[in-house]
């Protein structure tokens, strides 16, 4: 490559190499293969053997940015230590999704075992579903999980971890027994024998949850974190039941856990049926499971036992609630077109968030704008600007809003089930960008404040009058959706294996404009934002001065440096 300028990039499991026109490369041999010229900039892609020889040579050197790499792309993807060639047109969403989609059956992942974990015996019961539960049948399973490093767990083997998770999961399912059940559908029949509707509930007979052990060859904790680039595509393979909808819980487990063994750590990913519970219930279960694991499997005395008395509005006509359908095809909608998006994690420090909150409240002349509302306002404005909407375009900011504390009397904070609405704040793109951060924050604040007991009951009554099962296409392309909460006790999930390094999620409920909030790893009011946007919109957001000025360096970077230093010190001491 004499006289050539070299550009290359590692994107998770992908390697791209470019050469400048000054060196067209050899005409023959394994390094031939020139892509179509793009503004006179040919692209070269090494053969498997050549890449293996040169991988260490390229990693860590500067990357020559290719501004026009959009018409045609060839990449080598490393799978299980082997390399394969994939081609795609960047203008084809189908090709993009096909390339990035990876399942647990891929050569990158080796299946070790799958077992059904059952709770100790208990009386069989039936769990009736509320309007909030029944409306979730078309949604996907919640997919969240924790990344752990094993560098401090020298005394534990992965077999020990599997045994710990299995034993404690069985005990946890005794408390969270709906997760060990299956959905069951029964027909409603009138006096003439005509089917007038269906009843769907959870048959809590201890059928069990699924626990799978998988090995991800060659993937490290640092590969998963990818703190300065997009979330690697292989992360989706850390979760079971991908693209399975909640109504499939008739035959699929309502809870599926996958332990993915990494080169220097492991990932515990949970797929949790969204008709059984919402994000609050998910993290309640995850923390209770971890609490039992820390107690050597003792199931007694949970600090926050679940409350299984599901809420039904007065005058609902008795239980169970009847859906006005005669067969599933009338309300089940399986999306066949996967959305195209890039996914990145952005970190906001507690200090950055405090400045946003102070600015929003000062400009509004208020003191009640929350940190969450201030950050949401920033995201709504910046994503709208990145999308380049015309001034007259109406846009919505939908905020996942809890019902538990807003109902009168309030539900228990430990209520296990769904109790949430996506509340929309509405403005035109022109209004949003002309008025500034505080104006948008106040609009979001007023939308959430208006979600009262009366408003909730009106929504429930309207659903009872005309039941509907939500579909994913109800979220329009001009909206942003704020999901999850930075208040969830994400890093309190201590299984006795040390603090998790990071939290990641699967493909469920991801689309252009979806933002998921997590508390920051260091705590103290910091946040991590998991943002999904179409590629050009993400590029525009990364260049947005207002947004990027609020983004902070991730503490994970320092954690990775400290980990590397400790490993170097250990290696040096053995010489």
Lowest mean pLDDT, pick from 130-139, 425-434, 469-478: 469-478
For residues 33 and 51, the answer to whether their CB atoms sit within 8 Å is: no
Domain boundaries, the chain: 6-91, 109-330, 342-492+507-562
Q: Return the pLDDT at 558.
A: 78
- Residues 6 or more apart whose Cβ sits within 8 Å of residue 291: 302, 303
Top-ranked range on mean pLDDT: pick from 74-78, 190-194, 566-570: 190-194
Average pLDDT over residues 439-462: 97
pLDDT at 131 over 50: yes
Residue 6 · residue 25 · CB < 8 Å? no
Running DSSP on this structure, what letter comes out for residue 466?
A: S
Which of residues 304 and 564 earns the better pLDDT score?
Answer: 304
Determine the 3-state secondary structure of 183 from DSSP. strand
> Residues 4-17: what's their mean pLDDT?
38
pLDDT per residue over 341-367, tens digit each?
Answer: 999 999 999 999 999 999 999 998 999
**Pick from 99, 68, 87: nearest CA to 340:** 99
Higher pLDDT, 87 or 497: 497
- The highest-level CATH class for domain 109-330 is alpha beta
Burial of 207 (0-12, 13-18, 19+ CB in 10 A): middle
CA distance 551 to 343: 16
Instruction: Please give the pLDDT value at position 508.
Output: 92
Instruction: Report pLDDT digits (tens) over 271-327.
Output: 999 999 999 999 999 999 999 999 876 667 899 999 999 999 886 656 899 999 999
**Is 84 a residue whose pLDDT tops 80?**
no
Q: What is the pLDDT of residue 202?
A: 98
> For residue 544, what pLDDT band results from cuts at 50, 70 and 90?
very high
What's residue 555's pLDDT? 86
Q: Which residue in 457, 474, 469 sits closest to 422, CA to CA?
A: 474
pLDDT band at 88, cuts 50/70/90? very low
| Confidence at 336, pLDDT banded by 50, 70, 90 | low
pLDDT at 228: 72
pLDDT at residue 66 is higher than 70: no
- Interatomic CA distance for residues 258 and 145, integer angstroms: 9
Q: Is the peptide bond before 402 cis (omega within 30 degrees of 0)?
A: no
Q: Report which DSSP code applies to 41.
A: B
User: 329-340 in b/e burial notation, b at 16+ Cβ within 10 A?
Assistant: eebeeeeeebbb
- Give the pair of three-digit tokens for residue 2: 């004499």
What backbone torsions phi and psi does residue 442 show, to the nearest 5 degrees? -65, -40
- What pLDDT was estimated at residue 565? 66
**Ranges 162-171, 196-205, 249-258, 338-347: which has the least confidence:** 338-347
Which of these ranges, 36-50, 191-205, 311-325, 348-362, has the smallest mean pLDDT? 36-50
- Among all chains, which residue has been given the structure tokens 């179509």? 36
- Strand ranges (DSSP E) for 263-335? 265-272
213-265 pLDDT tens trace? 999 988 999 999 987 789 999 999 999 999 999 999 999 999 999 999 999 99
Between residues 440 and 318, which one has the greater pLDDT? Answer: 440
Q: What is the pLDDT of residue 297?
A: 64
Confidence of residue 574 (pLDDT cuts 50, 70, 90): low
Q: How confident is the model at residue 21 (pLDDT cuts 50, 70, 90)?
A: very low
Whether a cis peptide bond, with omega within 30° of 0, leads into 525 is: no
Q: Which residue has the higher pLDDT, 338 or 502?
A: 502
Between 260-274, 495-509, 550-564, the lowest mean confidence (pLDDT) is in 550-564
pLDDT tier, 145 (very low <50, low <70, confident <90, very high otherwise): very high
342-492+507-562 maps to which CATH number? Answer: 3.30.559.10
Give the separation between CA 39 and CA 457, rounded to whole angstroms: 61
pLDDT band at 571 (very low <50, low <70, confident <90, very high): low
Instruction: Measure the CA–CA gap between 24 and 2, rounded to whole angstroms.
Output: 10
How far apart, in whole angstroms, are the C-alpha atoms of residue 236 and residue 504?
9
**Do 109-330 and 342-492+507-562 fold alike per CATH?**
yes
Residue 331 vs residues 16, 334, 466, 471: alpha-carbon distances, Å: 44, 10, 13, 9
**Which residues, 6 or more positions from 504, have their beta carbon under 8 angstroms from its beta carbon?**
144, 145, 147, 224, 231, 235, 238, 267, 269
pLDDT at 237: 94
Per-residue model confidence (pLDDT) at position 554:
86
Q: What would the DSSP string read from start to end of 499-516?
A: --SEEEE-STT--TTEEE
Reported as half-sphere exposure (CB side, CA atoms, 13 A), residue 570 has a value of: 8
Determine the pLDDT at residue 562: 75
Q: Which two tokens stand for residue 103?
A: 């399942």
Please tell me which residue, 378 or 299, carries the higher pLDDT value.
378
501: tokens are 């390094």
Percent of the chain with pLDDT over 90: 67
Return d(Cα 290, Cα 31) in angstroms, integer: 51
C-alpha distances in angstroms, 91 versus 11, 70, 99, 199?
Answer: 19, 8, 13, 45
| Least confident interval from 35-39, 151-155, 293-297 | 35-39
Contact 239, 476 (CB under 8 A): no
Position with higher pLDDT, 472 vs 421:
421
């Amino acid at each position: 490559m004499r006289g050539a300028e070299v550009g290359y990039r590692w994107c998770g499991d992908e390697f791209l190499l470019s050469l400048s026109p000054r060196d067209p490369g050899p005409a023959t041999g394994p390094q031939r293969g020139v892509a179509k010229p793009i503004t006179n900039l040919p692209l070269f892609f090494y053969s498997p053997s050549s890449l293996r020889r040169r991988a260490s040579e390229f990693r860590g050197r500067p990357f020559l940015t290719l501004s026009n790499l959009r018409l045609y792309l060839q990449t080598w993807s490393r799978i299980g230590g082997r390399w394969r060639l994939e081609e795609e047109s960047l203008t084809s969403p189908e090709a993009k999704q096909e390339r990035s989609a990876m399942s647990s059956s891929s050569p990158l992942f080796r299946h070790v075992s799958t077992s059904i974990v059952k709770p100790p015996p208990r009386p069989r019961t039936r769990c009736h579903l509320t309007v909030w539960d029944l409306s979730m049948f078309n949604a996907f399973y919640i997919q969240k999980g924790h990344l752990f490093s094993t560098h401090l767990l020298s005394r534990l083997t992965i077999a020990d971890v599997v045994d710990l998770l299995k034993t404690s999961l069985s005990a946890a399912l005794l408390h969270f027994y709906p997760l060990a059940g299956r959905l069951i559908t029964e027909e409603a029949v009138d006096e003439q024998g005509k089917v007038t509707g269906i009843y769907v509930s959870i048959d809590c007979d201890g059928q069990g949850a699924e626990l799978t052990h998988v090995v991800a060859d060659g993937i490290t904790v640092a590969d998963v974190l990818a703190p300065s680039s997009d979330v690697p595509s292989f992360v989706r393979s850390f979760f079971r039941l991908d693209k399975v909808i909640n109504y499939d819980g008739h035959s699929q487990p309502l809870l599926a856990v996958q332990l993915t063994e990494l080169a220097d750590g492991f990932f515990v990913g949970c797929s949790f049926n969204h008709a059984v519970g919402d994000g609050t219930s998910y993290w309640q279960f995850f923390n209770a499971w971890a609490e039992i694991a820390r107690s050597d499997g003792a199931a007694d005395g949970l600090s926050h036992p679940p409350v299984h008395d599901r809420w039904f509005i007065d005058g609902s006509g008795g239980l169970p609630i009847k859906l006005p359908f005669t067969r599933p095809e009338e309300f089940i909608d399986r999306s066949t077109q996967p959305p195209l998006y890039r996914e990145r994690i952005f970190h906001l420090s507690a200090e950055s968030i405090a400045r946003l909150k102070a600015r929003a409240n000062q400009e509004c002349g208020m003191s009640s704008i929350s940190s969450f509302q201030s950050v949401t306002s920033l995201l709504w404005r910046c994503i709208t600007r990145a999308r380049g909407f015309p001034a007259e375009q109406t846009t919505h900011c939908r905020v996942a809003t809890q019902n538990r504390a807003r109902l009168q009397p309030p539900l228990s904070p430990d209520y296990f089930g769904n109790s949430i609405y996506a509340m929309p704040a509405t403005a035109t793109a022109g209004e949003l960008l002309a008025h500034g951060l505080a104006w948008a924050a106040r609009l979001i604040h007023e939308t959430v404040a208006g979600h009262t007991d009366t408003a909730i009951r009106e929504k429930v009554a309207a659903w009872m009058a005309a039941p509907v099962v939500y579909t994913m296409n109800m979220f329009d392309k001009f909206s942003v959706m704020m999901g999850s909460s930075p208040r969830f006790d994400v890093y309190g999930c201590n299984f006795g294996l040390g603090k998790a390094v990071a939290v990641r999620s699967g493909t469920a409920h991801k689309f252009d404009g979806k933002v998921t909030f997590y508390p920051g790893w260091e705590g103290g009011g910091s946040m991590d934002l998991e943002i999904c946007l179409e590629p050009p919109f993400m590029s525009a957001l990364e260049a947005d001065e207002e947004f990027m000025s609020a983004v902070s360096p991730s503490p994970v970077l320092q954690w990775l440096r400290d980990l590397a230093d400790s490993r170097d010190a250990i290696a040096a001491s053995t010489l």
